């Protein structure tokens, strides 16, 4: 059963899109207002041991999900390792529970009535072409191109770049040649409006079905945005969009930027990396690829809940043998008041790749 609510474009970046979206006729008549059907709340969950090794082979019954302390029933479940084996160098992680690994091949049977449809994957790469990037521009392009090639067969990837404005160089595509051409065609710009550009990218990802992630390559602090990072973080949480940020020591040396990068990635379920050199940048991209290839994706229909604001999500593992592992995922999302109406955000953006 679908649950409907009214949602509005918000300059601060607040938008609820926890599941698939269906525009209404009113939305077509009024560009500042649209309606969505909240079909499922989707969670991307990474499970690791104390050494950071990924735990594979878990089943739906190993997870317990609550929303505002209300138990939720898992409706769909998928393990990325079963889908993206070609992206992994080895077999199941040696740290995986023996019993879970033994049953990994029969997860579909164990899921009972759970939906077994393949979850689509969408990754947006957001590249900093501001004047912060002058010294390492070519190295950064090489690292991004290698990342694109390593994601062959993953799903659809988009390549965006930004300085003061956002450039949608290559919109979502499976054509890796087009993507790499977009990477090599970038040129250095001026000031860095990271938060403006990241907000627009999250909004592009928000209506998409399935697993979605944004990989940001930033070489320095934001010095030109009108949007605060807190609004970007909440939008990413509320839309179920993972944010991974690769930055340099220049950003890490700025406490405000480092804290903002850490928070935006953490609350979305992603990670932040601060690389000292181009080798560490390539290692960070490899780590992101491995993370995407080891996620559990589960979803649920929210139970009746009178809370119309921020809803807290808790995901835990069941069983004494699983309590030693660590989970990373988003911890909630926001429902908007039905009577909010604010103009859409104002940062400029250009689409350089033709139709989507």
Rg of the chain's alpha carbons, rounded to an integer? Answer: 20
The CA distance from 90 to 192, in Å, is 39
Per-residue confidence (pLDDT) for residue 32, from 0 to 100: 43
pLDDT digits (tens), the chain, 356 positions: 443 333 334 333 333 444 433 344 444 444 444 444 456 899 999 999 999 999 999 999 999 999 999 999 999 999 987 655 545 554 334 344 434 433 433 343 444 445 444 557 999 999 999 987 767 788 889 999 999 999 988 899 999 999 999 999 999 999 999 999 999 999 888 899 999 999 999 999 999 988 999 999 998 789 999 999 999 999 999 999 999 999 976 667 788 889 999 999 999 999 999 988 888 988 999 999 999 999 999 999 999 999 989 999 999 999 999 999 999 999 999 975 444 433 344 445 566 654 44
Q: What is the DSSP letter of 276?
A: S
The CA distance from 236 to 117, in Å, is 24
The CA distance from 20 to 7, in Å, is 13
The residues, any chain, with a CB within 8 Å of residue 60's CB and separated by 6 or more, are 74, 77, 107, 110, 111, 114, 298
Q: Are 11 and 344 in contact (CB under 8 A)?
A: yes
For the chain, domains (ranges, CATH) are 56-111+296-329 (no CATH), 121-293 (3.40.50.410)
The CA distance from 190 to 230, in Å, is 24
Per-residue confidence (pLDDT) for residue 121, from 0 to 100: 92
Per-residue confidence (pLDDT) for residue 266, from 0 to 100: 97
The CA distance from 185 to 295, in Å, is 32
Q: List C-alpha distances in Å: 274 to 112, 154, 166, 182, 339.
A: 43, 25, 23, 25, 41
The CA distance from 123 to 158, in Å, is 6
Q: Are 13 and 227 in contact (CB under 8 A)?
A: yes
Identify any residues that bridge with 70 across adjacent strands, giving them in sequence order: 67
Q: Are 158 and 125 in contact (CB under 8 A)?
A: yes
DSSP string, 176-221: HHHHHHHHHT----SS--HHHHHHHHHHHHTT--SEEEEEEE--S-
Q: What is the DSSP letter of 265?
A: H
The CA distance from 87 to 285, in Å, is 13
Read off the tokens for 349.
């953006």
């Amino acid at each position: 059963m679908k649950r409907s609510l009214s949602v509005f474009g918000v300059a601060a970046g607040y938008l609820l899109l926890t599941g698939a979206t269906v525009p209404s006729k009113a939305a077509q008549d009024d560009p500042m207002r649209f309606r969505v059907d909240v079909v499922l709340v989707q969670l991307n969950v990474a499970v690791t041991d104390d050494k950071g090794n990924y735990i594979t082979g878990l089943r739906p019954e190993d997870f317990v999900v609550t929303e505002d302390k209300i138990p939720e029933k898992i409706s769909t479940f998928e393990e990325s390792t079963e889908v993206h084996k070609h992206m992994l160098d080895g077999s199941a992680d040696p740290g995986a529970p023996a019993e879970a690994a033994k049953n990994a091949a029969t997860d579909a049977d164990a899921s009972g009535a759970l939906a077994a449809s393949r979850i689509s994957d969408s990754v947006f790469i957001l590249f900093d072409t501001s004047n912060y990037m002058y010294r390492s521009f070519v190295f950064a392009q090489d690292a991004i191109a290698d990342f694109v090639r390593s994601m062959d067969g993953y799903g659809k990837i988009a390549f965006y770049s930004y300085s003061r404005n956002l450039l949608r160089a290559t919109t979502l595509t499976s054509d890796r040649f087009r993507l790499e051409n977009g990477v090599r065609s970038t040129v250095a710009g001026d000031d860095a409006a990271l938060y403006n550009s990241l907000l627009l990218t999250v909004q592009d990802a928000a209506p998409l079905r399935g697993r979605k992630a944004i990989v940001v390559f930033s070489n320095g602090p934001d010095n030109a945005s009108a949007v605060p990072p807190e609004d970007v973080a909440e939008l990413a949480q509320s839309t179920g969009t993972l944010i991974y940020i690769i930055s340099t020591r220049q950003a890490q040396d700025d406490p405000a930027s480092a804290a903002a990068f850490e928070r935006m990635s953490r609350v979305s379920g992603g990670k932040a990396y601060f690389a000292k050199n181009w080798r560490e940048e390539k290692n960070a991209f490899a780590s992101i690829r491995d993370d995407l290839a080891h996620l559990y994706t589960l979803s649920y229909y929210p139970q009746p809940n009178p809370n119309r604001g921020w809803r807290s999500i808790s995901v835990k593992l069941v069983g004494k043998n699983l309590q030693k592992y660590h989970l990373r995922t988003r911890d909630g999302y926001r429902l908007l008041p039905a009577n909010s109406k604010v103009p859409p955000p104002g940062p400029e953006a250009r689409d350089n790749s033709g139709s989507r």
